[in-house]
Structure 1
């Protein structure tokens, strides 16, 4: 009879689950708080007949679905897509940004949890960008609410992103995207990404994701990490918006939330399966196209 003792290895997924559980727990806790608050606001709006569920409401659901599908898979474009839609309907930039960030609390939370589920998170990179990202977004929300016009700096950001997107495509074609990543400037990058995202109604993904990819980070891990950090960035920016502006256009927010929540797990799954080089080319192309479109709209006004 053999008396061999077999070594028992802890499964890798279990180890990862234990490491990531504080992030998951905090996301869930913050989501419960905000869901309770907006549930109360929705009940009040329905009772006062101040929320409108007409045919336009379903257009917001579709907009939220496709915007989050792109954002979850490529790490960007939710804010840009939704903000463009709201501005086209005559909503002011500050209220458009507030509405988009409010809806993103729900969509980015589901997206972040989905990316964690599909092992798309770089924990070290996450902690390097989340704190300064929150600081930048909170400051940007305050500045936009009270002091500055976000439209003034948009053209300069768009021009920068056109060149950055072109560089990403070049990098994907000419080099191996699995180069040694650089994290030295990630906190500063997140600070400016959060600041410009709040001021411009979108930009966290194009600015942070694109720059990190250009520094050699793995596309799948970068997209998952930036999307997960975006929940916290959006959450605290929205708190500032609510404190200064209150909650407006609840029907628009609800439509974007429903569509975005449905699409978030799909986007995260796509990001976990697509080839890194292909993913980088898609991100670069999306950055160039959305930035050029933004410039065209600016100059046509």
Structure 2
């Protein structure tokens, strides 16, 4: 057997020599010195991973957030005073998080004498162990270390793993655990059987039955066929459409600009195209059914392209897609049919839709400030994964057709808030939206006799021009600022329609 060469030995010494372990922190007595921002970060990390950890906090100044953590974790002890050597009695782990380097050196020396392991924030040379970045997906936990070289790199790797490992991995772990308990035989037999079962987790991913290229062609053929049939049918049957082709309505340019602006907003924040476009159309005197038709036809192409791109990148959950698209189409067709049937009563349905868009405006504002609040808070909230997909799809499709928008706002938000992976949820919702918009549009066109084609064509062309630009501009604009502006505009425009209706009633 060959002996390792000098280069191999030197290489080993240069690499990360840390030995990773997972501690049952609830079985240790831990001392945390320092209760400022760094101390808070360390305490939150410990409690997030080990909620029952016994921690004694000693500091001259204690942040309010740490007192709040104590209220939820009564096993924590807090002493608001300076460090004393007696604080080390019975302690097995020590974490130092102050800005006093000399104090840190003093405590480290005491810990060495007493055989206590110590971690010093941002001072690798004084540490016996590091607190690495942690990826947690239910029972799965991955610790990341850069050997103290760059905590920032560790955080970035954590973000990548968090984004790409689905929350559903915990379901797989639970299933494998149950299987392990029922497999007969000894240890070696269990290992062999489990290796066979889990081999698919690392095997090469099979190509989907429908390739991304084939799906792209299918979507384009559907769009072209839809546009061709629509043009021929309406040019032969609808005099209003003929007059539009022969002479452009001046209002067309207003909806062209509106389609462009609202598509840009949607590209920046991933939602609100339907609600902003519908609100604008209603304020311009367009009946609810025609307004919703314009929205859905203009969304067919954009969502088809977006859905195809997500499918190509592997961002579509096939099982979730099937559940959403079937129930969503049923809900969308039902909503479009009902709204079209009430087109002659648009003076009654218009204020109802305005109330709906008013509520969506408030929801958009709430999301803007809630997202900002969550970004500032480091406390993790455990979310229960949503399972009632069919009712969600039906409700989202129905409300989207009746209100001219809301599929993304309602369905996507519910999936993410319900613990679903954000990337897969977005891709699945975008692809299913293509079919929702297609079926809603077909229902509206079949039911309505008089469509406002300058509205439809303006929105289609405006949104088509904006789509490629929005992707490049979106990262340069504050999503919160846009959401706040959109929420306020939608609320004001909807309020105008509601107040106008109420004034009209009292004037009768």
In the superposition, the TM-score normalised over structure 1's length comes to 0.76
Matched, 1:32 2:206: no
1:150·1:199 contact (CA, 8 Å) conserved in 2?
no
Distance change in 2, residues 1:215/1:37 (3 Å): same
1:120·1:221 contact (CA, 8 Å) conserved in 2?
yes
* 1:236 equivalent in structure 2: 439
Question: Displacement of 1:196 after TM fit?
Answer: 0.7
Distance change in 2, residues 1:154/1:68 (3 Å): same
Q: Cα RMSD between the aligned structures? A: 3.9
Matched, 1:254 2:457: yes
CA shift digits 1:105-124 (9 cap, x unpaired): 23322332344455543433
* 2:291 equivalent in structure 1: 96
Pairing 1:175-194 to 2, within 5 Å after superposition: 182-194=385-397
1:67·1:82 contact (CA, 8 Å) conserved in 2?
yes
Distance change in 2, residues 1:46/1:91 (3 Å): closer
Question: Displacement of 1:179 after TM fit?
Answer: 7.5
Question: Displacement of 1:177 after TM fit?
Answer: 9.2
Match of 1:124 among 319, 343, 346: 319
Q: Identify the range of structure 1 (206-215 vs 244-253) with the bigger mean alpha-carbon deviation.
A: 244-253
* 2:334 equivalent in structure 1: 139
**What is the CA–CA distance in structure 1 between the aligned matches of 2:249 and 2:353, rounded to whole Å?**
35
* Structure having the larger proportion of residues in helix: 1
Matched, 1:83 2:278: yes
Is the partner of 2:436 in helix, strand or coil?
helix
Question: Displacement of 1:78 after TM fit?
Answer: 1.5
Match of 2:301 among 106, 112, 116: 106
Give the number of aligned pairs. Answer: 288
**What is the CA–CA distance in structure 1 between the aligned matches of 2:258 and 2:216, rounded to whole Å?**
27
Distance change in 2, residues 1:190/1:102 (3 Å): same
Match of 2:362 among 158, 162, 166: 162
Distance change in 2, residues 1:74/1:229 (3 Å): farther
2:279·2:490 contact (CA, 8 Å) conserved in 1?
no
1:108·1:227 contact (CA, 8 Å) conserved in 2?
yes
* 2:466 equivalent in structure 1: 263
CA shift digits 1:113-151 (9 cap, x unpaired): 344455543433322311111111101011111258364
1:74·1:223 contact (CA, 8 Å) conserved in 2?
no
CA shift digits 1:25-48 (9 cap, x unpaired): 542332122021133257557994
Is the partner of 1:217 in helix, strand or coil?
coil
Question: Displacement of 1:212 after TM fit?
Answer: 1.8
Distance change in 2, residues 1:263/1:296 (3 Å): same
* 2:499 equivalent in structure 1: 300
1:121·1:222 contact (CA, 8 Å) conserved in 2?
yes
1:114·1:268 contact (CA, 8 Å) conserved in 2?
no
CA shift digits 1:225-258 (9 cap, x unpaired): 2222111011111111111114622232112111
Gaps of 5+ in 2: 1-202, 501-508
Larger radius of gyration: 2
* 2:407 equivalent in structure 1: 204
Gaps of 5+ in 1: 1-9
CA shift digits 1:263-291 (9 cap, x unpaired): 334445778x79xxx87x67975785466
**What is the CA–CA distance in structure 1 between the aligned matches of 2:306 and 2:229, rounded to whole Å?**
21
In the superposition, the TM-score normalised over structure 2's length comes to 0.48
Is the partner of 1:202 in helix, strand or coil?
coil
2:289·2:339 contact (CA, 8 Å) conserved in 1?
yes
1:105·1:235 contact (CA, 8 Å) conserved in 2?
yes
Distance change in 2, residues 1:214/1:136 (3 Å): same
* Structure having the larger proportion of residues in strand: 2
Is the partner of 2:243 in helix, strand or coil?
coil
**What is the CA–CA distance in structure 2 between the aligned matches of 1:30 and 1:177, rounded to whole Å?**
44
1:60·1:255 contact (CA, 8 Å) conserved in 2?
yes
